[in-house]
Structure 1
Amino acid sequence: MKLIVNGEPKEIAAATLEELLALMDYEGDWLATAVNGELVHREDRPAHSLNTDDRIEILSPMQGG
């Protein structure tokens, strides 16, 4: 399926947001995720279905300062 992940087009076979994160090797409870501009909470990721051309943002905390 064609998705836009963090602004980059990707072809990924993931049906849910949780599957996408696993396929892209994102792990941890500290991630923030949004699909089409709407925040998706951690507990909602397994049931959040993805559709072609969805825009997914995956944010992780930065270290340093």
Structure 2
Amino acid sequence: MRIELNGSPVETGSSTLADLITERGFPEAAVATALDGVFVPRNARSGTALTAGARVEVLTPMQGG
């Protein structure tokens, strides 16, 4: 299915947000996620279904000054 990930269209076979995090190689414990503009806590990702056209944001912490 086609979704938008961090502003870019992507094809994914993932059915949940947790599956997408794994599929894309994000460090699960070190990212924040949002689906269609709504924050999704880490413990809710496996129960958060993805649908075609979903807008997903995955944010990783940045270091530096």
TM-score (norm 1): 0.96
Question: In 2, distance between residues paired with 1:11 and 1:17?
Answer: 14
Q: Say what the alpha-carbon RMSD is for the aligned residues.
A: 0.7
Q: Which 4+ runs in 1 deviate beyond 6 A?
A: none
Cα shift at 1:35: 0.3
| Partner residue in 2 for 1:10 | 10
Q: SS at the partner of 2:56?
A: strand
Q: SS at the partner of 1:9?
A: strand
Question: In 1, distance between residues paired with 2:28 and 2:16?
Answer: 17
TM-score (norm 2): 0.96
Question: In 2, distance between residues paired with 1:6 and 1:25?
Answer: 14
Question: In 2, distance between residues paired with 1:35 and 1:7?
Answer: 12
Q: SS at the partner of 2:64?
A: coil
| Partner residue in 1 for 2:59 | 59
- Kindly provide the CA deviation profile for residues 5-37 of structure 1, in whole angstroms up to 9, marking residues without a partner as x: 000000111000000000000123121000000
Equivalences, count? 65
Cα shift at 1:45: 0.3
